[in-house]
Amino acid sequence: MSDYAAPILYAVVIWWFLTGAILWLNHRPRRTHAWSFGATTLALVGALWVIAWSASQESEAGAYAAFTAALIVWGWQEMAFYMGYLAGPRRTPGSATDRGLARFGAAAATNLWHEAAIILGFVAIAWATAGSPNRMALWTYLVLWGMNLSARLNLFLGVRNLNAEFLPEHLRYLGSFFRRAPMNALFPVAMILATGFLLVLLHPAVTESASAFKRSGHTMMATLMALAILEHGFLMLPLPSAALWGWGLPARRPGADAAP
């Protein structure tokens, strides 16, 4: 078990820290965002270089480097969205009269550029790792993208806990596209699929012939998937998930997470 403890702990700590750091930076005064985003963009360039370098490194160090770099690339995507640099053409609340496809189209327009940037990020990582033995960065990025998309779709369809306090002031209009509901049809399907993918990610790490590269890399990715599943659970369970990152959030205002 000691061979798995280090990658599990690393994945948990870096997930917790980076999430909190991004929340803290996003909720800082708007005048600080340009500096924060500029520094993160430099980190993005470095992370892409690390991904290209680590693609040929089929070693434990290569797995850690690829995993960390993919998280930094994803962190840049999240900051670009939540700071408003790459959101979407629509920046106004949804209409109470919108239903069905009209409501979905309006919601999609709020993050269209964000989705385009995510696709470009995927293409860049896929190109940098094509034909290489270490594609941990690509799989890590896909885990983050898939579970992020699932979370946003579930918020759109309806969940118990909206977690609207995660939204910075300039993106409060996004809360108008969230819906409070005890359950939705997508949620159990998403949880089943995510659990299945978790097992797929974990399997190469627990075989007797697993190398240090596969054991560490796949353990970190499986841990990340497990954390994403846990975050999905927070959407439905009556648990104070925001408490995990209280240091990264401003003081909570009454009614901040009220359903629109």
Task: Note the pLDDT tens digit of each residue in 20-38.
Answer: 999 899 989 999 999 999 9
CA–CA dist 69, 50 (Å, integer): 6
Q: Is position 251 within any domain?
A: no
Q: DSSP letter at 252?
A: P
Q: Is position 258 within any domain?
A: no
The answer to whether residues 122 and 139 touch, using CB atoms and an 8 Å cutoff, is no
* 142 pLDDT higher than 50: yes
- Angle in degrees, 0-180, between the axes of helices 136-157 and 212-236, rounded to the nearest 10: 10
Largest CA distance in the chain: 58
Tokens 């959101």 belong to residue? 87
Q: How many domains does the chain have?
A: 1
* Token representation of residue 80: 């670009």
How deeply is 208 buried, as exposed, middle or buried, from its count of CB atoms within 10 A (0-12, 13-18, 19+)?
exposed
Provide the 3-class DSSP secondary structure of residue 134. coil
- Between the alpha carbon of residue 43 and those of residues 72, 184, 195, 208, the distances in Å are 7, 38, 32, 37
Question: CA angle 74-63-12, nearest 5°?
Answer: 60
Average pLDDT over residues 234-238: 86
Q: Is position 13 within any domain?
A: yes
The answer to whether residues 41 and 252 touch, using CB atoms and an 8 Å cutoff, is no
Q: What is the pLDDT of residues 50-91, one digit of tens each?
A: 999 999 999 999 999 999 999 999 999 999 999 999 999 999
Q: What is the pLDDT of residue 242?
A: 66
What pLDDT band is residue 97 in, cutting at 50, 70 and 90? confident
Q: What is the pLDDT of residue 198?
A: 97
Q: What is the pLDDT of residue 257?
A: 43
- Residue 222: closest CA among 63, 74, 18, 79: 63
Structural domain including 156 reads 1-245
The answer to whether residues 224 and 15 touch, using CB atoms and an 8 Å cutoff, is yes
Q: What is the pLDDT of residues 3-26, one digit of tens each?
A: 899 999 999 999 999 999 998 999
Q: Is position 57 within any domain?
A: yes
CA–CA dist 28, 24 (Å, integer): 6
Q: Is position 175 within any domain?
A: yes
Q: Residue 202's Cα: distance from chain center in Å?
A: 19
Q: Is position 173 within any domain?
A: yes
Higher pLDDT, 237 or 81: 81
Average pLDDT over residues 216-225: 97
What pLDDT band is residue 109 in, cutting at 50, 70 and 90? very high
Q: Which amino acid is at 7?
A: P
Q: Is position 256 within any domain?
A: no
Q: Is position 227 within any domain?
A: yes
Among 33-37, 117-121, 246-250, whose mean pLDDT is lowest?
Answer: 246-250
What pLDDT band is residue 169 in, cutting at 50, 70 and 90? confident
* Token representation of residue 225: 């998937």
